[in-house]
Structure 1
Amino acid sequence: MQKITLNLDILYSILKIVGIEHKECMKLKDVYINQKLLENRNKIAHGNKIDSFSDDFNIKIEDAIEIRDIVFKIMTSIKEDLIYHAENELYLFRNKTSCDTYNKKSNIILRKGIIYIMLYKGLSNETFIQYKYFL
């Protein structure tokens, strides 16, 4: 049996197949999600030994809450996109313009949701300015 390692590139490939653009604002957390969340998940799922006291496996509760909120926001956005694309047949080439318009609106909504999560968490202005480019 082949081991499949989950990461965001796989998600982006799946989204592209069904006609949903990956959202640029998701890039903000790519590295963090891949390293902290998925890498640890993959180690556990594939039976690798993990040192629970290692800094690589250590996630602060505040970071876990933030990543949970952002992942749920992204998952909700993707669910809504899939439903809208299916109901409105945006996967058809003749609906490309409508698909592009919807994807732009959806990206803006997700970006605002991520900004809200980051501000609600209490990011300092300095840290927020560093992330602002991606949002």
Structure 2
Amino acid sequence: MSWKLDETVQTSAGAVAAGRLGSGPALVLAHGWPWSSFSWHRIIPNLARRYRVHWYDMPGYGRSAKDAEQRTSLDVQGKVFAEMLAHWDLEQPMVVAHDMGGATTLRAHLLHSCDFERYILMNVVAMRPWGSEFFDHVGRHVDA
């Protein structure tokens, strides 16, 4: 399996689990809600043939730090995305963002001066109302 979280990065929002694979131009993957970087696990091996792929679990998701007191709002996520780019020493990576990853990366660009060589947005949520009736229903009935 090529997807793994073998790196821990200390950020302003706590410990973030991350991984990298491949060589070539930098490509960063930003997952959506309520998922984790595992959502990219099937495409990472193919992307890594051409790119140096970077991924992480956003704070509060997957294997990154999470606790009852932790803030995981978009302002936090945008700042952490900028911190991850700085940690990886990436100045103008290509970015692929899904769902809330779109709002997260857009905040990093607009508010934290992160520049991207290319920017691909997939099914993004960038403004309210968030999500669909299905995810609203799932959120109300988590135990189901």
TM-score (normalised: structure 2):
0.30
Structure showing greater relative contact order (alpha-carbon pairs closer than 8 Å, 6 or more residues apart): 1
Structure with the higher helix share, 1 or 2: 1
Is the radius of gyration larger for structure 1 or structure 2? Answer: 1
